Structures are given as C-alpha cells and as structure tokens.
Amino acid sequence: MKRIEVKLSVDVVAPLLDVVRAVADDLRAQPSPAMQLGDMDPDLAAAWRAELVAGQQADLDLMLGMFKEEFFRDGTITLDGSNAEAVLRASAAVRLRLRSAHLEGIEEEELESGAVELEELPEPVRRPFVCYLFLATLQELIIQHLDPATPES
C-alpha cells in the first residue's frame, strides 16, 4: 500500500489548523453544503442527516488527528490508504464551508487558480483563503500520490 510522509512548516500550518478546527466545530451540527438533502420525508431526512454528519465528523476527526504531537514536533504528517479518502472528504467539506461562509466574494476561477493577491483581501478573509489553498494542495497531493490507479514507486 502506498504511503507518503509530508513535511510541513508548523509555523505556517498551525494558524490554518485553527481555521479548520473552527469550521469542523461548525460542521458538527450542519452537514457540508454538498450534503443538502432537498425534499425528502422529514423522518428519513433526519436519520440520513444524522448519519451524514456522523460520517463527516469521523472524517474531520481523522484529519485533525494527523496534526497532533508528532506534527508539532517535526512537522510531518503521514498519508496512506487508511486515511487518504477520509482526508479528501474532510478537506472537501471544510473547503465548501469556507467558500460559502468566508470566501463568497471571490470568483470561483480565482479560488481554484489561487490567482488572488493576498494583500488585496480584507484581513478576516486572508487566513480562510490560505486555508482553502492549503487543503486544495493536500487534496491534490493525495490524488497524485495515493490514487490506487497509479503504480507504486
């Protein structure tokens, strides 16, 4: 099974984890915007919503669990088949919430390309924007290196 160790700057990533934690707390009660259930029987919707939120929370807990003592000691996180999909889902949920709650004034092309001048953003938007880019990079890393369709090296 493929496994990658990623060395990150603790000084850069630690403040972004505060953003992720805040969004994760928000997502404990509300599913990601991608998980809206639409018109459905209220009892079925409540049960499905509870299951979606529980799964989403498990993914978020797993992702945040990578950023514990070892990370703060040496800046390393490990990604492999046991956590890659959960980290992808958690990153997507956080990015969607960041986009809808903090980055709504930025065009999608600018968000996805990262073609935004950080200095031009209002101060309260800067950290969520950088967090959005960090999680996008993490997702790309997982897809490039842990995709089961790619041969192991």
Give the pLDDT band of residue 104 (cuts 50, 70, 90). very high
Of 127, 109, 17, 11, the closest CA to residue 118 belongs to 127
Percent of the chain past pLDDT 70, that is, above it, reads 90
pLDDT given for residue 71 in this prediction: 95
- Higher-confidence residue of 143 and 114: namely 143
pLDDT given for residue 41 in this prediction: 82
Summarised one tens digit per residue, pLDDT across range 19-73 is 999 999 988 877 766 556 667 787 887 787 788 888 999 999 999 999 999 999 9
Q: Is the pLDDT of residue 152 over 70?
A: no
Summarised one tens digit per residue, pLDDT across range 75-97 is 999 999 899 999 999 999 999 99
Percent of the chain past pLDDT 90, that is, above it, reads 61
- Higher-confidence residue of 2 and 29: namely 2
pLDDT given for residue 145 in this prediction: 85
pLDDT given for residue 33 in this prediction: 61
Q: Is the pLDDT of residue 17 over 70?
A: yes
Of 87, 85, 98, 96, the closest CA to residue 32 belongs to 96
Residues forming beta bridges with residue 7, ordered by sequence position: 76
Mean pLDDT of the chain: 88
Angle (nearest 5°) at CA 92 between 146 and 39: 130
User: Quick count: other Cβ atoms within 10 Å of Cβ 78?
Assistant: 13
pLDDT given for residue 90 in this prediction: 96
pLDDT given for residue 28 in this prediction: 83
Which residue's structure tokens are 């790619």?
A: 150
Helices 84-101 and 123-146: crossing angle, nearest 10°? 150
